[in-house]
Structure 1
Amino acid sequence: MTILLVVFVSFLNAQNLNINSLEKEIIKYNREGKHTLSQKKLSDLLFSGNLTKEEEANVLFFMASTYRGVSDYAMCIDYLNKSAAIAKDLSKDNVLRMKLDYEYAFVYFDNKEYQKSKKMMDNIAARHYSTIIPEDHAYILMQEGYLFLMNKDYSNAEKKYNEALQIIKSENSCNLPIVYVKLMELYHFKKQIQKVESLYAESVKISKSCGILKYETYAASEMEKIYKENNLLGKAYSVGIRVDSLRKLEDLDNRVSEMHIIDKKYLEKKESLEDESVFWEQICAVLIAVILLLIIAYSFFKSRNLKIEKMKMKEEIEQIKEDLNSYSQKTNLGVKFESTKSSILNSDQLTERQKELVQLMAEGFSNKEIADKLFITESTVKYHIKNIYSILNLKDRKDLFKKISNI
C-alpha cells in the first residue's frame, strides 16, 4: 500500500519538462547576465528528483553552458561530464549527444586548450551531424578561423569568419558582436584600424540594442587591447575606462562566487536527502525483516496450536461421552441437592471435571480463563457449564453464586 502511495505521489509531482522551452529561457537569462537565475531554476529541477534520465542530462547540459557563460570552465566541464555520463545511454541520434560534442569544443577553446578543442572539432566533422544547429556550426567556423589566424593564414581565417557571419545574420543578429570581435582581431593583424573601429562601433550598438552586457564588455576589452598594441594610448585609456565601468556592472567575480555558494548549498541539501533516504531504506528493510519473522513465527505457532487443539478435541469428545452417560444416570435418581458449596463439590452427581469447573466458577474465573487452566477449548467449557446448570437446577452463574453463598 505504501509503495503504491509513493508511486502515486511521484506521478502527481512529475515535471513533464519542456526541454525546448527551458533552453530558450536559460539562453535568455544568460544573455541578460542573469546566470544565477538560470542556476537556481536548473538546481531546483535537479533537486526535485522528478526528471527522466534524458531530462536530467539536458538540465545538466544547460547548467554547463551557464557556467561557461561566466567563464567558469572547470565547473562547465564538470557538468558536461555529468551530462555525458547519462547521455551515453541515450540513442545515438539524440540531439543532446551532438550538443555535448559542440559544447566540449567550445569550452576547451574558451579555456585556450586548443588541442583538445581541435580534437572535438575533428570528431564533429567526422560524424556529419544531420541535425546540426546553425549557430553552433557558426561558432565552430569561428574557432577554425581563429586557428588559421594563429598560424597567420589571414585569408582562410577571414573566409571562415565571413561564413560564420552569414549564418549568424540569418539566425540571430544579437549574436553578431561575437563574429565582429573576431574580425576586429583579424583586421588588427592586417593593420586595418578603421575597419576595426567600425566593427567595434557596430558591436556596441547591437549589444546595447539587445541588452547583452557581456558582448559589449567583450568588444570593449578587445578594442582596448588593439589600441594599446597599436600605441594609440589615448584611445586605449578612454576605452579602458569604459571597460572598467562595464565590468563593474557585469560584476562577474561576485556572480561566479554566488553561483558556487548556491551550487554548494544544493549539493549539501542533496547529499543530506540521500543520507536520509538511505536511513529510511534501512529502516524499511529492518521492518520488512521483522514482519517476515513475525509471519513465520505466527504460522509456526498456529500450526502447533492446531495440532494441540486436535488432541484436546479427541480427549474432550471421550470426556463428553462419559459425562453424557453419567448425567443420564444421575438425573433419573431425582436426588435433591444440598445448598452448600461443600455439598456441591462433594456431590456424586457431578463428574470430576464438572467439579473442577464449579470450583473455578466459584473462584470467579471466566470461561476463557477456565479453558486455559484446564487445557480445553472455551466451547467445551460452555458445554460442561450447561450440563452443570441442568444437574443443579440452575439458571445461570448468578444463580450458582447464590446457591454457594448459602453455606
Structure 2
Amino acid sequence: MKIGYFYLFWMVTLCHVWGQETPSPLPKPSINKLGLEVYVLNNAFRYDSSIVLLRRMIDAPTTSNEDRFYAFLYLSHTYKRLFDYTTTLEQLDSALFYGRKTAHRAYFEANISCQKAYVLFDTHRYEEADQRMQQLARTNYQYLDEEQRAKINMQEAYLLYLQKRYPNAERRYYEALTHLQRSSTCDVPMIYTKLIQLYEKMGNEAGMRRAAAQSIKAADSCKITKYGLYTYEELYRSYERLGNISAAFNALKVYDSLNTIYKQEEHLSALKDRELKYQQEKNKINEKLYQSSLKNEQQKNLILIGILVTLSGFVAYFILWQRKKQLQTEKERNLHYTKQLLEKTEEERKRIAGDLHDSINYELLSLKKSEKQDPEVINTKIDQIINDVRVISRNLHPVMFDKIGLEPNIEQLIERFQAQHNLMVSTEFDYQGSLSSQAELQLYRIIQEGLTNIIKYAKAHAAKITLTESAEKIHLQIRDNGVGFDVAKTLSSTDAFGLHNIIERSRIIGGTTHIQSSPEGSVIDVEIAK
C-alpha cells in the first residue's frame, strides 16, 4: 500500500504549542465548529460542499486574517483528500500569507512548515519532508501537539521500515500509538495498518492478526468504513505475499463486502451533495431576493427619513415662526400697555387738576369773597375744602397706609366702593403681614383695579376678596358673580389695560396671576411665593 493512504484521511487541525516561550492562540469556537463541519463533509465525500463553505468565509469582507488562515488550512485538507497535492501546497501558502499578518506569525509559520512536511512525505518526497521535520526538531518541536508527535513518530517508523530496521520501527510505531490514543483515538487504524505491513516483513502473522483486530475495533467504534476497508486491503495483500492464500481469500471477501458498503455510502453522499448544491443555489436565489427586498426597504426607509426630516424642518420653522410671532405680540402688547399707562397717568393728572380747579379753587375763591360773612358759614366752607383735599389725597395714595396697614385700607376701599356703587363686597382675611409696605401697596392697587373692572364690565351685584397666607405663599383672590368674558380674547385685545395692570403689578412683587371666567362669574388669583 502507498504511504499516502496513511495520511489522506487524517484530519489535521493545528500544531499546538508544547514549549513555554510563545503562548498558543486558541481558535475561536466558530473556527472549531467550522473545522468539525469540514471534517464531517470530507468524511462523507462532500468535498464540493466543503470548498463552497470555506470559500464563502474567505471571500467575506468581515473575515479576519486569522480566520482566513484557518479557512485556507482547511481547504488544504480538503484538496489533500482529493489527491490534489499541488493545490494543497498552494492553499498552505495562502494560509501562511494571512498567518504572517497576525500577532502570532512564528506560530503559524511553524504550523505551515509542519503541514507541508506531511504533504511531502505523502508524495514520497522523503528527503524534503525530512528537512522540514529536522527544522522543527531543532526548535524541540515547540509548536507540535501530541497528535502531531504521533505523526512524526509514524514517519520516523516508516523510514526505519524502509531501512529494514524492523524492531526499531515497531517501537516507534507504538510510541506513535501512545500519543495518538490520547489525542485522536479514531485515527489509530492508520498506525495499526502500518504495523500489519511491518509484521508481514517480519513474518509475524500473529502480530498481523492482533494489529488488524485492533484496527477493525477502532474503525467500528468510530463508524469509519474506510479504515476497515484499508485494514482488510492491507491484510489480504500481506497474506498473499506470505503465501497464505486461504487467509488472503477470507480477508479479500471482507474487503469486497466493505468496498460495496463504501461505494453505497459514497453514492449516497454524492446524492446528498447534489441535494445540498440544489439547496445552496436555492438559498442564493432567496438571498438575492432578500437583498433586493432589503434594498427596496432601505430605499423606502430613506424616503421616509427624508420626509420626516423635511416635516421636522417645517415643524421647527413653524415653532420658531410662532415663537417670533408670540414675541412680537408680547412686544406690541407691552408697548400698548406702556402707552395706556402713560395715557392713564395723564388722565389721572387731568382729573386731579380738574378736582383742584373745580372744587378746591372754587371754594377758596368763594371763601375769599365771603370774608365779612358769618364766621359759621366760613367754617363750613373751610371744612368742605379740607374734605375735598382728603378725597383727592386718598385717591392719589392712602394717607395712613403705612401706619394702619393693608387690611384696614382694603376695608376702607371696599366701604367707599359699596357706598358709591350698587355692589356688595365680602372679605376673608388670614394675612400675617409678611410682605413689605411696597408689596402690600401693590396688592392694594390690584384689589382697587379688580373692583373697578367689576363695576365697569362685570354687571355683578356681589364680589368677594380673599387674602390668605401659608408657609409657602400668599394668595389673593378676587371673585365676582358677573357675566364673565373671554379671557384669551380680552388679553390679546387693546382694551385690557386693567387686567394687564393687575398682571404687571403681581409680577413686580414676584407673583403670578391666573384669570378664569365663565357666564357664572370671574376669578382672579394672585399667588406670591415666599
- Shorter-chain TM-score bucket reads 0.5 to 0.7
Residue 17 of structure 1 contacts residue 55 of structure 1 at CA under 8 Å; is this kept in 2? no
Q: Is the 8 A contact 1:105 1:116 kept in 2?
A: yes
Shift of 1:94: 5.2
Aligned with 2:212 (options 200, 208, 229): 200
CA distance in 1, matches of 2:227, 2:106: 31
The corresponding residue for 2:79 is 67
Counterpart residue type for residue 70 of structure 2: N
1:82-231 matches, within 5 Å, as: 82-91=94-103, 95-231=107-243
Contact conserved, 1:141 with 1:163, CA < 8 A, in 2? Answer: yes
For 2:257 and 2:135, locate their aligned partners in 1 and report how far apart those are by CA, in whole Å.
41
- Match of residue 365 from structure 1: none
1:366 maps to what in 2? Answer: none
Aligned to 1:40: 52
User: Which of 34, 56, 62 is equivalent to 1:50?
Assistant: 62
Conservation of the 8 A alpha-carbon contact between 1:101 and 1:120: yes
Matches within 5 A, 1:227-242: 227-242=239-254
- Greater helix fraction, Structure 1 or Structure 2: 1
- AA aligned to 2:215 is S
Using the TM superposition, give the Cα deviation of residue 84 of structure 1 relative to its aligned residue in structure 2, in angstroms. Answer: 2.2
Q: Is the 8 A contact 1:174 1:206 kept in 2?
A: yes
Report the secondary structure of 2:62's partner residue.
coil
Amino acid at match of 1:24: L
Alignment of 1:294-333 (within 5 A): none
Whole-angstrom distance in 1 between the partners of 2:61 and 2:90: 20
CA contact (8 A) 2:44 2:266 kept: no
Indicate how the Cα distance of structure 1 residues 233 and 36 shifts in structure 2: closer, same or farther if over 3 A, else same.
Answer: farther
Against the structure 1 CA distance between its residues 142 and 159, is the aligned structure 2 distance closer, same or farther, given a 3 Å change threshold?
A: same
For residue 161 of structure 2, what is the amino acid of its counterpart? L
Q: Contact 1:32–1:212 (CA<8 Å) still a contact in 2? A: no
> Separation in 2 of the partners of 1:46 and 1:250?
32
- What is the Cα deviation at residue 245 of structure 1? 4.4
Q: CA deviation at 1:93?
A: 5.4
Higher strand share: 2
CA distance in 2, matches of 1:50, 1:250: 40
Superposition TM-score, scaled by structure 2 size: 0.42
Contact 2:75–2:91 (Cα < 8 Å) also in 1:
yes
- The sequence identity of aligned pairs, in percent, is 25
Structure 1 moving runs of 4+ over 6 Å: 252-256
Call closer, same or farther: CA 1:233–1:73 in 2, change over 3 Å: farther
Q: For the residues of structure 1 that align with 2:137 and 2:219, how far apart are their CA atoms?
A: 31
Summarize the Cα distance change of 1:113–1:246 in structure 2 as closer, same or farther, 3 Å threshold. farther
Shift of 1:119: 1.4
Q: Give the distance between the partners of 2:48 and 2:227, measured in 1 at CA.
A: 18
Q: Residues of 2 paired with 1:242 and 1:35: CA distance?
A: 27
Q: 1:132 to 1:111 in 2, by over 3 A?
A: same
CA drift of 1:120 comes to 1.5
Aligned to 1:312: none
CA-to-aligned-CA distance 1:45-89 (integer Å, 9 cap, x gap)? 223343122211210111111222343323322212222233334
Which has the greater radius of gyration?
Answer: 2
Q: Deviations over 1:184-237 (max 9, x none)?
A: 122111110111012112211211220112222221221122112112233323
* 1:333-376: CA deviation from partner (whole Å, max 9, x where unpaired): xxxxxxxxxxxxxxxxxxxxxxxxxxxxxxxxxxxxxxxxxxxx
Letter matched to residue 53 of structure 2: K
One-letter amino acid of the structure 2 residue matched with residue 115 of structure 1: E
In the alignment, is the contact (CA less than 8 A) between 1:221 and 1:240 conserved in 2?
yes
**Aligned in 2, Cα 1:32/1:199: closer, same or farther, shift over 3 Å?**
farther
Gaps of 5+ in 1: 1-15, 270-407
Give the secondary-structure state (helix, strand or coil) at the position aligned to 2:124. Answer: coil
Size of the aligned set, in residue pairs, is 247
1:376-395 pair list within 5 angstroms: none
CA distance in 1, matches of 2:124, 2:86: 13
In the superposition, the TM-score normalised over structure 1's length comes to 0.54
Indicate the residue corresponding to 1:382 in structure 2. Answer: none
**Maintained 8 Å contact 2:239/2:247:** yes
Q: CA deviation at 1:25?
A: 3.1
What's the secondary structure of 1:120's corresponding residue?
helix
Kept in 2, the 8 Å contact 1:63–1:76? The answer is: yes
